[in-house]
Amino acid sequence: GQNIDQPTEMTATEGAIVQINCTYQTSGFNGLFWYQQHAGEAPTFLSYNVLDGLEEKGRFSSFLSRSKGYSYLLLKELQMKDSASYLCAVRRGSARQLTFGSGTQLTVLP
Amino acid sequence: DADVTQTPRNRITKTGKRIMLECSQTKGHDRMYWYRQDPGLGLRLIYYSFDVKDINKGEISDGYSVSRQAQAKFSLSLESAIPNQTALYFCATSDSRTSGGITDTQYFGPGTRLTVL
């Protein structure tokens, strides 16, 4: 199956930490991507995980557990500009197509 | 200048009309993709092309066709537009060669907002 599940909406306060979870069916797994998308704009690449563990990039980190079919995106020191939709995308098999989740709309409040 | 460009950025058309959306890239990538995005449904793949002679259907290809005129150009056509094709359309590109340990990261154009009345 192709199901990718992530929460529809989350709200957090400026300066705080937020964790956005993503679960997926593990068959044919070949990598997981996180994208950020501001309203009406193109998705932009944030992070990539293919092995278990944590990848850190400045204020953003992404974690993967392949056996559990689970990933999260961790955003630290939240800023107002982090208000956006965060898309989890799974790549499967040799065809390397991406299947996207519906996205998590994050609102950062002052 | 943007690496991936899409034209037009906005289009309003009527049911039954033929529409072409164009995508160009200067990234030198070999792979190109067309997606549509609808509220609450995320991005869904329409067609993808791994090189000029390779075209593949995606998840929702019915009602659409594509042409890969050159490595840098990939166009999407709606032969006879219908209202449920109203959506935001994105073109994306990727490089099949590994860079920085990652292969095939997709980079998106700015999108075309299409409204079919």
**Contact across the interface for A100 and B102, Cβ inside 8 Å:** no
Tell me the two tokens of residue A46. 């944030």
Which residues of B lie inside 8 Å of A (Cβ-Cβ)? 40-45, 48, 58, 88, 90, 94, 96, 102-111, 113
Q: State how far residue A110 is from chain B, nearest Cα, in angstroms.
A: 26
Please give the average per-residue pLDDT across A80-88, as a whole number.
97
Q: What's the rounded mean pLDDT across residues A71-81?
A: 97
Cα distances (angstroms) measured from residue A76 to each of A57, B44, B54: 11, 30, 42
Confidence at residue B98, expressed as pLDDT on a 0 to 100 scale: 73
- Flag whether pLDDT at B117 surpasses 90: yes
Q: Give, for B93, the enclosing helix (H) or strand (E).
A: strand B87-94
The pLDDT of residue B75: 98
Please tell me the predicted confidence (pLDDT) of residue B32: 96
Does the pLDDT at position A1 exceed 50? no
To test the contact with chain B by mutation, choose from A48, A87, A90 the residue with the greatest count of B C-beta atoms within 10 A, namely A48
CB-CB contact of B27 with B95 (8 Å): yes
| pLDDT exceeds 60 at position A52 | yes
Asked whether residue B1 carries a pLDDT value surpassing 60, the answer given is: no
Q: Where are the beta strands (DSSP E) in A2-96?
A: 4-5, 9-13, 18-24, 29-37, 44-49, 53-57, 60-65, 70-75, 84-92
Question: Torsions phi, psi of B40, nearest 5?
Answer: 80, -5
Pick A102's closest partner by Cβ from B40, B88, B104.
B40
CB contact under 8 A, A41 and B111: yes
B38 → chain A, closest CA residue: A102
Q: Is residue A88's pLDDT more than 60? A: yes
Q: Mapping DSSP to helix (H, G, I), strand (E, B) and coil, where does residue B85 land?
A: helix
- The C-alpha of B102 sits at a distance from chain A's nearest C-alpha, in angstroms, of 8
Predicted pLDDT of residue A93: 77
The pLDDT of residue B2 is 66
pLDDT tens digits along B61-106 = 999 999 999 999 999 999 999 999 999 999 999 988 876 667 788 9
Q: Mean pLDDT, chain B, as a whole number?
A: 93
Of the candidates B41, B45, B110, the beta carbon closest to that of A42 is on: B110
